[in-house]
Amino acid sequence: MRKIGDWLFSKFAKQEPSKLTPLSQTAFETPPVVRMIGKTDAEYDAQGGVYFPLRYLTDMMRFISQNSDCLQVLTYQDLDVRDGHEHANNYHAEYLAWNARVAADPVANCKAHVLLQYDIDRSTDLMHALLASPEHDKVPANIMLFNERVDRWRLRSSGELCTTEYPLDEALLRRRQSEGFVIGYHTNAYELGGHDTDRALEIFDRDMTAMSEKYGTRFFSAHGGVPDAKGKNNNALPYHPDWIDRSIWVHNGVNLRFDGVFSDGGHNSPKRDPKNRDLRQFFETLQPGKRYRMLLHPQYYGDDYGVSRRFLGTPWYDDMIRTAQQQPERSLWENVKLNIK
Ligand SMILES: [Zn+2]
């Protein structure tokens, strides 16, 4: 088999894809996946991890819709990136062209442009509840899905590679897609490939083929999965040469450019101060004529929520939880002041 994993990314840009051995003609070995198992990740860490009321997000959707005169929702589909070749230049050129376009358009230039990316690492039921909420109408998001989900807990604790259930409401996804939502691929190919680069590239090809046939997927992001012994993770996989012309790597490893980003990931990381992790505060920093990405994990948001021990004692969080519990009719976003108007 051709050892494509040994090639550096920089070489990919110079290769003619047609000169490469198509991976479909190589012997595809069965991945070393052990078995399908039930809920997993130690039963989703004994059902913890839902730290925010769903309303924290659905009230945000309503807030965005009510402020459409100064907030514009973007999807990756709206960004004019040609392909993954020479991404540093290409992405920079895209950013400059976007800025020039917005600056020349008085309406667009008065708005802040926000892009929502959902990484669906687990708990697809919570994604479904969020996507089904009527507040999400007219607020399209970019939904990053696995083709096959890995049990992170088992892989990390015992090195055992297991895939798990990952049920998807296809009718709901397709309805939202027809309304402008974008379905991308959340690549975990390096984990699924047993931390072998060649196998991982085969799995990337298999998964991207499946996702593009199913959803017309072009955009992908790397999942922050379980790294190998040297710390290499899904985001360090070389860009697959057969996909460099046909896909856009948007996040983690290769990134499109934004003027500001918010992420709700790594909740329990001591490196992240809960004080600065309120989405509403982030909205108050938005500036007209600029674009922003919010990376959210719907697994943290639900009607049946607990409280985050790490966030407890942080004034905005305590206040938000108290309001959600005591004043169900009041918007959690009512006091947010945009600095755009
Ligand atoms: Zn992820």
How far does the centroid of ligand 1 lie from the alpha carbon of residue 186, in Å? 7
The pLDDT of residue 184 is 98
Task: Output the CA 121–ligand 1 centroid distance in Å.
Answer: 5
Radius of gyration of the chain (CA): 21
What pLDDT band is residue 153 in, cutting at 50, 70 and 90? confident
Ligand 1 center–CA 168 separation, angstroms? 16
From the CA of 87, how far away is ligand 1's center (Å)? 22
pLDDT of residue 48: 65
- pLDDT above 70 for 180: yes
Q: What angle do CA 187, 191, 194 make, to 5 degrees?
A: 140
How far apart are the CA of 262 and the centre of ligand 1, in A?
15
Asked whether the beta carbons of 145 and 186 are under 8 A apart, the reply is: yes
**Ligand 1 center–CA 252 separation, angstroms:** 10
Each residue of 206-237: pLDDT tens digit? 999 999 999 999 999 999 999 999 999 999 99
Burial class (CB in 10 A: 0-12, 13-18, 19+), 109: middle
For 29-57, what is the mean pLDDT? 63
The amino acid at residue 48 is: G
Cβ–Cβ contacts within 10 Å for residue 125, how many? 13
The mean pLDDT value for 171-186 works out to 98
Report percent pLDDT > 70 for the chain: 84
Lowest mean pLDDT among 13-22, 158-167, 247-256, 293-302: 13-22
Host H or E run for residue 315? helix 315-326
Q: 225 alpha carbon to ligand 1 midpoint, in Å?
A: 7
pLDDT of residue 290 exceeding 50, the answer is: yes
Instruction: For residue 146, report the distance from its CA to the centre of ligand 1, in Å.
Output: 9
- Return the amino acid letter for 263: S
| Residue 327 alpha carbon to ligand 1 centre in Å | 33
Ligand 1 center from residue 177 Cα (angstroms): 20
- Going from the Cα of 329 to the center of ligand 1, the distance in angstroms, rounded, reads 33
Separation between Cα atoms, residue 67 and residue 47, nearest integer Å: 35
Ligand 1 center from residue 122 Cα (angstroms)? 9
Q: State in Å: Cα 223 to ligand 1 middle.
A: 4
**In the chain, where the domains are located:** 23-326
- Examine the pLDDT at 13 and tell me if it is beyond 50: no
